[in-house]
Amino acid sequence: MLSIFIQISMLILAVLVISFVARILKQPPIIAYIITGILISPFFLHLVSENETVQTFSQMGVAFLLFIVGLHLNPKVIKEVGFISIVAGTIQIVFTALAAFFLALLLNFPIITSLYIAFALTFSSTIIITKILSDKSDLETLYGKISVGILILQDIVVIFLLLFLSYFSKGFSWSVSPNIIFYAALVIISLIFLSVYVLPSITKFVAKNQELLLLFSIGWCFLLASTFFYLFKSMEIGALLAGMSLSLSPYHAEIASKIRPLRDFFIVIFFVLLGMNLPLDSIPSILKPALIFSAFVIIFKLLIIMASLGITGYTKRTSFFTGISLGQISEFSFILIALASSLGQIPKSVSPVIILTGIITIAFSTYAMIYSNKIFPLFSKPLSIFERKKIKERELKKKDYEFILFGYNRIGFSLLKTLTKLKRRYIIVDFNPETVKKLEAKKIVCVYGDAQDTEFLQDLRIDKAKLIISTIPDFEINLLILNMIRKTNNKSVVILTAHQISDALKLYKEGADYVVMPHFLGGQYTAKIIEKFKTRKKFYEKEKQKQIENLKERIEEGHEHPKVERQHI
Rounded to 5°, the CA angle 257-162-130 comes to 35
Rounded to 5°, the CA angle 277-281-283 comes to 80
DSSP 390: S
The answer to whether the beta carbons of residues 92 and 297 sit under 8 Å apart is no
Rounded to 5°, the CA angle 181-183-187 comes to 120
Q: Which of 330-344, 366-380, 544-558 has the lowest mean pLDDT?
A: 544-558
Letter for the amino acid at 291? L
Average pLDDT value for residue range 431-439: 76
Total Cβ atoms within 10 A of residue 406: 27
Dihedral sign computed on CA atoms, order 344, 349, 354, 355: positive
For residue 463, give Cα distances in angstroms to 193, 402, 490.
Answer: 59, 10, 9
Whether 562 has a pLDDT exceeding 60, the answer reads no
What are the boundaries of each domain within the chain? 2-14+28-386, 403-516
Render pLDDT for 43-77 as a digit per residue (tens, 0 to 9). Answer: 677 777 666 667 777 777 777 877 877 776 665 65
Higher-pLDDT residue of 107, 559 = 107
Rounded to 5°, the CA angle 439-440-442 comes to 65
Average pLDDT value for residue range 74-89: 70
Three-state DSSP string of 451-502: CCCHHHHHHHCHHHCCEEEECCCCHHHHHHHHHHHHHHCCCCEEEEECCCHH
Name the β-bridge partners of 468.
404, 494
Q: How confident is the model at residue 96 (pLDDT cuts 50, 70, 90)?
A: very high
Q: Which of 309-313, 492-496, 550-554 has the lowest mean pLDDT?
A: 550-554
Q: Indicate whether this model's pTM tops 0.85.
A: no
pLDDT at 183: 64
Higher-pLDDT residue of 333, 26 = 333
pLDDT at 556: 66
Highest-scoring range by mean pLDDT, 151-155, 289-293, 517-521 = 289-293
Dihedral sign computed on CA atoms, order 539, 542, 548, 554: negative
Average pLDDT value for residue range 447-469: 79
pLDDT at 391: 58
Percentage of residues in the chain with pLDDT exceeding 90?
10
DSSP 386: G
The answer to whether the beta carbons of residues 277 and 352 sit under 8 Å apart is yes
Whole-number Å distance between alpha carbons of 57 and 8:
10
* CATH for the 403-516 domain, from 3.40.50.620, 3.40.50.720, 3.30.420.10, 3.20.130.10: 3.40.50.720
Render pLDDT for 258-273 as a digit per residue (tens, 0 to 9). Answer: 887 877 777 787 778 7
pLDDT at 566: 38
Question: Among candidates 520, 528, 468, which has minimal Cα distance to 498?
Answer: 520
Render pLDDT for 103-144 as a digit per residue (tens, 0 to 9). Answer: 999 999 999 899 999 999 999 987 778 777 776 767 667 788
Whole-number Å distance between alpha carbons of 439 and 348:
56
The answer to whether the beta carbons of residues 222 and 51 sit under 8 Å apart is no
Topology of 2-14+28-386 in CATH? Answer: Na+/H+ antiporter like fold (1.20.1530)
Rounded to 5°, the CA angle 391-395-400 comes to 140
Whole-number Å distance between alpha carbons of 155 and 161:
10
Q: How many residues does the chain have?
A: 569
Whether 95 has a pLDDT exceeding 70, the answer reads yes
Dihedral sign computed on CA atoms, order 300, 303, 306, 309: negative
Which residues contact residue 414 at a Cβ distance below 8 angstroms, ignoring those fewer than 6 apart? none
End-to-end CA distance of the chain: 29
pLDDT at 102: 95
DSSP 561: P
pLDDT at 386: 79
Q: Which of 72-81, 164-173, 501-510, 548-557 has the lowest mean pLDDT?
A: 164-173
Total Cβ atoms within 10 A of residue 520: 12
Q: Which of 137-151, 242-256, 381-395, 498-512 has the lowest mean pLDDT?
A: 381-395
The answer to whether the beta carbons of residues 130 and 325 sit under 8 Å apart is no
Dihedral sign computed on CA atoms, order 95, 99, 100, 105: positive
Which residues contact residue 77 at a Cβ distance below 8 angstroms, ignoring those fewer than 6 apart? 152
